[in-house]
Structures are given as structure tokens and as C-alpha cells.
Amino acid sequence: MAFDQQKVLLFGVAAAVRLLLFTAFPSLPNLLTGRVEISTPVTSFKRLQEGVFLYTHNVSPYDGGVFHQAPLLLPLFSLLPNPAFHPFATNLLYTVVDLLGANALMQIAESWQSAAPRLFKSSRKDLRWSSIAIGAGFLFNPFTITTCIARPTSALTNLFILISMAKASQGAGATFVLALSFASYLAMHPILLFPPLLLLCYDARATKTKSTPPLLTFAVVHVLALAAALGGLLYLSALLMGSWEFLAATYGVRLLLPDLTPNVGLWWYFFTEMFDSFREFFLGVFWLHVVSYVPGLTIRLRKQPLFVATTLTGIFAVFTPYPSIADGTLYLSLVPLFRHLFPLMRYTFLASSTILYASFIGPAFYYLWIYAGSGNANFFYAITLVWSLGLSVIVGDSLYAALRDELDVERPELRGKEVKRI
């Protein structure tokens, strides 16, 4: 069982690194929590603390402009000791969250859904990284570590997304639906992952059990299950809060963007500078834009649902209202699953160094704008543009690679030849 030893070693080291950082630099968590690149108004840990404080003092946290996160988090975090004095429990929680996420990621890797789903065998499917490597890639990614230290709730969202993917790729319908409903309950936009993951789950189920149920009934059943799960969660929250006002304060904020605190996304500055009369129109357009990717990708890449889901996470990391590097790190940790596509990608180095540059220059420009006062908002805005561009280049490039990969299977005679798109 050398493999398990490796896994234990990996998890041990990862946990050690995190706990060491937590304990060695006690001021680091609060410092990172304040970074706009990591914690957004809808995921910030400081705002969560405020919400918990108000909740424990019988003030409705949603009757205010600070707290925009899901209600069920409140009892969870009110059980933990106050992180201001006894941070260990919280640190442990977030470390465990990361480890579970890595575990789910490795499950995805071990189920061969990435390179060889049911309907499609990639011609390079033997070209892949071991699940250990992929898990390490997630656990030791500096973005993941900073996210874990800064303790935003997007870490939980990521965990649930990964679990739902893992369960879907294993064909475990119930747990997949449950995990996805949790993710969507926390962050709303993961619900867009449902169609591809549903297909993924269907394929996995079909590969396992030779008797495949008709897709339609399968879909209907799971849609109902998802609706039931979400409804249950929302009803539970309403019971907890005593009213439905949390809907407007959580999902309403994600939809309508009243809080324009800077983040790495494209929305905040756009709607800071937008004329009031067009605000609603462009909100609609932007959301439509995000949603529009789902059907297109799902239909065109019917054969590789896992890849569709991965690409969607990448798109969320760029085009949602409150993205943070936590969303980016989710995508960047899922990409290595598709090791077999790398030879077909063309701009890897360019995009990687773009992201690297952006992640260094971004804080510098933010400092110039906010603290030194010598730069203005355009500095930071430009860097968010670059960051988004870099990510979207990777997304597009991997998509190209995937399509090219399919082509190679369809028409083997074209392998290695130059192709055109018409």
C-alpha cells in the first residue's frame, strides 16, 4: 500500500503546512481576510463573524448591509469558539475542508471520467497524472493555501462542488444531488453545473450498470431531487431566521450587485461607472452571458461532461459578479485532470505567466490606489482585466484542445495535421 502511504504523507504535509502558517503567523489570517482578491462581500470571513455576532445577539443579520451569506452558516460558526480568542477550531475546520476537497478531487481523478468517459475514448488517455499529483497540485497551490488561511466561505462552496463532481463521476446520484444543492445554496451559481454533472452522473451510472435507465426519467428524477433538496435547505433557513428576508440579502445581493467592493472580477468597476438608467439592463445582460455558456458547452461536448463542468468553473471564476482567487484556484486545480489535452494547448506558457504577473502586480496596484493614493482605480481595474483575460485564454485554449482531441478520434487521418475552423 505504498499508494496510501503517499496519500497519508501528502495530507499530513498539507495539513502541517496550513496549521503551521496559522500558528506561526497569528496576524496572517486577518491580513489575508482583508485582501479584496481573496474575500469578497459575499464570502468574507470578517463579515461572517459580524453576522454570527449579530445572530448570537438576536439582531437579524440580514437587516443590514454587511452580511450576505447563507443562513445555515450562522449556527455552524456560532458553535465554534470565537476565532478572535480561540482560532484553533476554525483553522482546523478550514484545513479539513481543504483535505476533503483534495480527497474528492483525487476520487474524480481515479474515476477515469476525465480522459475516457463512456461515449468517448481519448487517443491520449494513457497520458495522465496520478491522483496523488493532482491532489498535491490542489493542496500546495499557493492560491489554495492563501484561501484557506483567509477563511472565506467560498472554500466551503469549492468543497461541495468538488464532492458533487466526485459523486457524479462515480455515478452516486443521491449524494451528488445533495452536494450540489449545498453548493448552490451557499453560492447560487453552482446550480448551473447541474446539466453537465447530471449527464456525467448518467454516463457513470451507465458504465457501471449495463442496464441504463432512459435519460429523460433519470433527468426528471434528479431535477426533482435537486428541487426538493434546495427547497428543504431554504425552508430550514427560513425556519431558523423566522422570515424569508434572507433571500433578498443573500441571493438578491449576488444578483443585483449593490455592494461594489473591488474584487478580481469584471463587474464591480463596470457597475461603478455605469449610468443608472442602464444598470438593470446590463445586469440582465451579464447574467444572461454567464448562463449562456451552459447549454452551448453541454450540447457541443456531450461526450465529455466532466470537461464541460470544469470549463464552467473556469467561466464562473471570470464572469460571475463576486469572483475571487478561490474560484480561480478551483478551476486551476481541475485542469490537471485533463493532462492528455496539454499537448494540444497552444498558449499555456503565455497564459500562465500572464496570471503569474497579474497576481504579483495586482496587490502592488491596489496599494498604489488605496494606500499610497498615487495611483487611481484604473490601475487595479487594468490588472483585473489582465487576470480575467489570462483565465479566459486558458479556458478557451483547453476547449480548443478538447475539441481537437475529439476530432482526432473522429478522423484519425487528420492527426498532427493543421486544421481550420469553418
Partner 1 sequence: MALISTLLALRRDPRILKLPPYLSALCILVGVVWLLVLPLNEYSRNTYVSENALLPGQVHTYFTGSEHNIFRAYRHEVAALVDTSVQERTQRLGDIFRSSNLKVATQKYEYHASGRNISNQNVYAILHGPRADATEAIVLIGAWRNMADEVNHSGVALVLTLARYFKRWSLWSKDIIFLVSGDSTSGPQAWVDAYHDSYSPASIEPLSIKSGALQGAVAIDYPAGPWGHRYDKLHVVYDGVNGQLPNLDLFNTAVSIASGQMGIGCTLQRMWKHDDSYQERLQTMLRGMISQGLGHASGPHSSFIPYHVDAITLQTVGNGWHDEMSLGRTVESLFRSLNNLLEHLHQSFFFYLLMQANRFVSIGTYLPSAMLIAVNFTITSIALWVQSGRGVSTPNPASATPKASPDSKTSKPDSMTAAEKSGAIALIPTTSLAITERKLFLPLAFILASHFLGLLPLYIFNNTSEPYLGLAFNTITAVTTSLPVLTALLLSKFLCPTEQETTLIQCFSLLLLGMYLSALATLNFSLSFLVGIFASPLTFVRSLAPQTPPTTQSPQIPPSFVSKNRKSLSATMVILLVLLNPLVVIRAATLYWGATIVEVLVQAAEGWHVWGLWTQVVVWLVWWPAWFAGSVVVAGGLFA
Partner 2 sequence: MRSFLPLLFFNYLIAFASAASDYYERLLLRPLPRSALLASFNFRSNESSASFDQQHFRYFPRSLGQILQHAGTKELHLRFSLGRWDAESWGQQPWDGAREGGTGVELWAWLEALSEEEAFARWLTLTNALSGLFCASLNFIDATKTIRPVMSFQPEGDHHNSSSLHLLHGTLPHEVVCTENLTPFLKLLPCKGKAGISSLLDGHKLFDASWQTMAIDVRPICGQDGTHCVLEMEQTVDMVLDIDRSKRPRDNPIPRPLPIEEIACDTSKHYNAEDTCYPLDKSAEPPWNLTDIFGRSLKGACPLTDEDGEGAKTVCINTPPERIIQANTTGQYVETRLASDTVRCYKLPTGADFDIDLPEQQMTTGLVLASPPLFAARSINGHGQERGSIQAVIRNPSFTDSVEFVYLESLPWFMKPYLHTLQARVDTSPSNPIKETYYRPAVDRHRGTHLELCMAIPPASTLTLTYDFEKAILRYTEYPPDANRGFDVAPAVIRLLSPGSSGKQGVYVRTTSLLLPLPTPDFSMPYNVIILTSTVMALGFGNIFNLLVRRFVGADEVQTMGAGGLQGVLRGRITRLRAKFTTG
Kindly report the backbone phi and psi dihedral angles of residue 351, in degrees, each rounded to the nearest multiple of 5, phi listed first.
Answer: -65, -40
Largest CA-CA distance found in the chain, in angstroms, rounded: 70
Alpha-carbon distance of 373 to 263, in angstroms, equals: 18
As measured in angstroms, the least distance from the Cβ of 116 to partner 2 is: 21
Binding to partner 2 by residue 63, rule CB under 8 A?
yes
Q: Which three cell numbers stand for residue 285?
A: 445582460
As measured in angstroms, the least distance from the Cβ of 291 to partner 1 is: 25
Q: Do 101 and 138 form a contact (C-beta atoms < 8 A)?
A: yes
Interaction pattern, residues 319-358, with partner 2; x per rule: CB under 8 A: x---------------------------------------
Binding to partner 2 by residue 80, rule CB under 8 A?
no
Give the three-state DSSP class for 317: helix
Binding to partner 1 by residue 252, rule CB under 8 A?
no
Give the three-state DSSP class for 403: helix
Binding to partner 1 by residue 356, rule CB under 8 A?
yes
Binding to partner 1 by residue 142, rule CB under 8 A?
yes
Alpha-carbon distance of 200 to 203, in angstroms, equals: 5
Binding to partner 2 by residue 210, rule CB under 8 A?
no
Query: Which of partner 1, partner 2, none does residue 206 bind (CB under 5 to 8 Å by kind)?
Result: none
Stretch touching partner 2 by CB under 8 A, among 15-23, 175-183, 191-199, 264-272:
264-272
Count CB atoms within 10 A of the CB of residue 214.
Answer: 9
Report how far Cα 394 is from the mean position of its chain's Cα atoms: 16
Give the three-state DSSP class for 86: coil
Of the residues 45, 218, 268, 307, which one makes contact with partner 2 according to CB under 8 A: 268
Q: What DSSP line would sit under 37-56, residue for residue?
A: TT--TTT-HHHHHHHHHHHH
Compute the radius of gyration of the chain from its Cα atoms.
Answer: 21
Of the residues 81, 296, 356, 360, which one makes contact with partner 2 according to CB under 8 A: 296
Query: Which of partner 2, partner 1, none does residue 295 bind (CB under 5 to 8 Å by kind)?
Result: none
Give the three-state DSSP class for 245: helix
> Between the CA atoms of 345, 348, 351 and 356, what dihedral angle is there, to the nearest 10 degrees?
160
Contacting positions for partner 2 (CB under 8 A):
34, 36, 46, 49-50, 52-54, 59, 63-66, 84, 258-262, 266, 268-276, 286, 289, 292-293, 296-297, 300, 315, 318-319, 369-371, 373, 376-378, 381, 385, 388-389, 392-393, 395-396, 399-400, 403-404, 407, 411, 414, 417-422
Contacting positions for partner 1 (CB under 8 A):
6, 13, 127, 129-130, 132-134, 136-137, 140-142, 332, 335-336, 342-350, 352-353, 355-357, 360-361, 364-365, 367-368, 371-375, 379, 404, 415-419
